[in-house]
C-alpha cells in the first residue's frame, strides 16, 4: 500500500507533515508514503532521518489556505494537492492525505477521482470529541450545498460503512439533526429525511437529535445537510476556542492563577485529553472514487500520523468498494 501525502498543505507544513510521516513510518505501519511538494524543501525537511518507505514527488505549487479552491486548481495544475490526487487516479498511490485547504482537497478529489457510481453528492465528515468518550462523525460538514433527503440517506449509508470499517463501530447509530425530537418537527427537508431514514433497512436510525446532543455523543453519526453541518461545526469550534482562551487567561492568568495551575495542571490535562480530537479528527471525503483524507489545518505531526493511519484503514477495509456496492444494490 502507498499513501500520497500533500506535504505543503496546512498551517504547519511542510515541517510537521514531514515529521508526521516519519512518526507513522517509525511505528512500522503498513503503508509506504510519497510526500508531495517542492522536492528540495522536502529533502531538507527530511534531512538525514531514516526514510525507508518514504519517497518524494515534486510539485512546484501550493493552494493557499484562504485561496479560492477551484480557481486555483484550474489555473495552476502543479499544486501539491492536484499532483498527490493524480497519483491515486493513476494507481501509483492508494490514498491521498492533506491538511491543506479543505475546499481544494475536495475539488481535486471530485475533478480527478470523480464520484462513486450511484452516489449523487459527496459529503465531508467532521469527527468530533464527545463526553461519551468516543468520537462522533458529523456529516455533511460542508461539501454539498442544497442537499435533498436522498442525498442525506446516501450520507447515512456512507458514514455507516466508514464508522464500521475504519473506526470498528458495530451497527453505528445515525441521529438526524433537527429542532426537536418529535418526528413531526423541522423543515420540509428534515421531515422528508426522517421518513426516508425510518424506512431504510441498512441504516440504524436513532431518530431526531438536537444541537446540544452532538457533543454528548448520543449517536455515532450525526446527520445534517452541508450548510447546517458547516455552521454547527464551526460554531462548536469557536466555542471551544473561547473556553480554551478563558481557561488560560481568565482562570490561570495572573499570579494567583499561576499558583492555582500548579495544583490544577493534572486536571487541565485531563479535560484536554477528554476533548482532544487529534487522534480521530481526520476523515475521508465520502462519495469520491478513491480515498482522500482531509485533516485539520492546524494538524501537527501527531495528527498527521493519525490522518495517514485513517487513510491506511480506509484502504485496508475496502471502504470505497463497499460504498460502491451498497450504492449499486437493488432496492
Full strand arrangement of the beta sheet holding 291-294: 54-58, 32-37, 2-6, 95-98, 291-294, 283-284
The minimum distance between CB 56 and a copy of itself, in angstroms, equals: 33
The minimum distance between CB 315 and a copy of itself, in angstroms, equals: 29
Looking at beta carbons only, is 84 or 138 nearer to a copy of itself?
Answer: 138
210 binds a copy of itself per the rule CB under 8 A: yes
Residue 60 burial (CB count, 10 A): 13
- Choices 51-59, 111-119, 235-243, 277-285; region in contact with a copy of itself by CB under 8 A: 235-243
241 binds a copy of itself per the rule CB under 8 A: yes
Here the cell at position 227 is 450548510
DSSP lists the bridge partners of residue 290 as none
188 binds a copy of itself per the rule CB under 8 A: yes
Residue with cell 493534572: 266
Looking at beta carbons only, is 50 or 235 nearer to a copy of itself?
Answer: 235
Would strands 173-177 and 204-209 be described as parallel, antiparallel, or unpaired? parallel
11 binds a copy of itself per the rule CB under 8 A: no
Looking at beta carbons only, is 188 or 331 nearer to a copy of itself?
Answer: 188
Looking at beta carbons only, is 25 or 121 nearer to a copy of itself?
Answer: 121
Residue with cell 493519525: 306
The minimum distance between CB 73 and a copy of itself, in angstroms, equals: 16
Q: Are 159 and 125 in contact (CB under 8 A)?
A: yes
> How far apart (Å, rounded) are the C-alpha atoms in residues 300 and 298?
6
For a copy of itself, how many residues bind (rule: CB under 8 A)? Answer: 61
Chain positions 143 to 172 lying near a copy of itself, rule: CB under 8 A, are 145-146
Q: Residues 122, 135, 186, 284: which binds a copy of itself (CB under 8 A)?
A: 186
Looking at beta carbons only, is 260 or 328 nearer to a copy of itself?
Answer: 260
133 binds a copy of itself per the rule CB under 8 A: no
324 binds a copy of itself per the rule CB under 8 A: no
> How far apart (Å, rounded) are the C-alpha atoms in residues 232 and 106?
20
> How far apart (Å, rounded) are the C-alpha atoms in residues 141 and 155?
11
Looking at beta carbons only, is 1 or 247 nearer to a copy of itself?
Answer: 247
204 binds a copy of itself per the rule CB under 8 A: no
Chain positions 259 to 288 lying near a copy of itself, rule: CB under 8 A, are 259-264, 266-268, 270-271, 274-275
- Phi, psi dihedral angles at 112 (to 5 degrees): -90, -45
Residue 318 burial (CB count, 10 A): 13
Q: Residues 3, 87, 88, 232: which binds a copy of itself (CB under 8 A)?
A: 232
| Residue among 157, 175, 180, 279 at smallest CA distance from 221 | 175
Would strands 125-128 and 95-98 be described as parallel, antiparallel, or unpaired? unpaired
Q: Residues 234, 325, 328, 329: which binds a copy of itself (CB under 8 A)?
A: 234
Looking at beta carbons only, is 213 or 312 nearer to a copy of itself?
Answer: 213
243 binds a copy of itself per the rule CB under 8 A: yes
Looking at beta carbons only, is 86 or 190 nearer to a copy of itself?
Answer: 190
Chain residues that interact with a copy of itself, rule: CB under 8 A? 68, 131, 142, 145-146, 177-179, 182, 186-188, 190, 210-216, 224, 226-228, 230-243, 245-247, 250-254, 256-257, 259-264, 266-268, 270-271, 274-275
Amino acid at each position: 500500500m502507498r499513501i500520497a501525502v500533500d506535504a505543503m498543505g496546512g498551517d504547519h507544513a511542510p515541517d510537521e507533515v514531514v515529521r508526521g510521516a516519519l512518526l507513522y513510518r517509525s511505528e512500522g505501519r503498513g503503508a509506504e508514503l510519497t510526500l508531495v511538494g517542492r522536492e528540495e524543501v522536502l529533502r531538507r525537511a527530511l534531512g538525514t532521518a531514516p526514510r525507508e518507505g518514504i519517497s518524494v514527488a515534486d510539485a512546484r505549487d501550493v493552494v493557499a489556505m484562504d485561496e479560492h479552491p477551484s480557481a486555483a486548481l484550474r489555473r495552476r495544475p502543479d499544486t501539491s494537492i492536484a499532483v498527490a490526487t493524480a497519483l491515486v487516479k493513476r494507481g501509483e498511490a492508494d490514498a491521498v492525505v492533506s491538511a491543506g485547504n479543505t475546499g481544494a482537497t475536495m475539488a481535486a478529489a471530485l475533478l480527478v477521482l470523480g464520484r462513486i457510481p450511484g452516489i449523487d453528492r459527496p459529503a465531508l465528515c467532521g469527527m468530533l470529541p464527545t463526553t461519551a468518550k468516543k468520537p462522533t462523525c458529523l456529516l455533511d460538514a460542508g461539501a454539498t450545498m442544497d442537499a435533498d433527503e436522498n442525498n442525506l440517506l446516501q450520507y447515512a449509508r456512507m458514514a455507516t460503512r466508514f464508522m464500521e470499517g475504519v473506526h470498528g463501530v458495530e451497527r453505528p447509530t445515525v441521529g438526524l439533526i433537527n429542532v426537536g425530537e418529535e418526528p413531526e418537527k423541522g423543515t420540509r427537508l428534515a421531515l422528508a429525511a426522517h421518513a426516508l431514514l425510518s424506512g431504510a433497512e441498512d441504516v440504524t436510525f436513532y431518530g431526531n437529535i438536537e444541537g446540544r446532543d452532538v457533543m454528548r455523543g448520543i449517536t455515532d453519526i450525526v446527520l445534517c445537510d452541508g450548510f447546517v453541518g458547516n455552521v454547527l461545526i464551526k460554531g462548536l469550534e469557536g466555542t471551544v476556542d473561547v473556553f480554551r482562551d478563558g481557561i488560560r487567561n481568565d482562570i490561570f492568568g495572573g499570579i494567583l492563577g499561576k499558583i492555582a495551575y500548579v495544583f490544577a495542571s493534572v486536571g487541565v490535562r485531563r479535560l484536554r485529553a477528554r476533548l482532544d480530537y487529534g487522534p480521530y479528527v481526520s476523515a475521508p471525503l465520502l462519495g469520491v472514487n478513491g480515498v482522500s483524507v482531509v485533516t485539520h489545518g492546524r494538524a501537527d505531526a501527531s495528527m498527521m500520523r493519525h490522518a495517514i493511519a485513517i487513510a491506511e484503514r480506509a484502504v485496508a477495509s475496502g471502504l470505497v468498494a463497499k460504498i460502491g456496492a451498497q450504492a449499486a444494490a437493488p432496492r
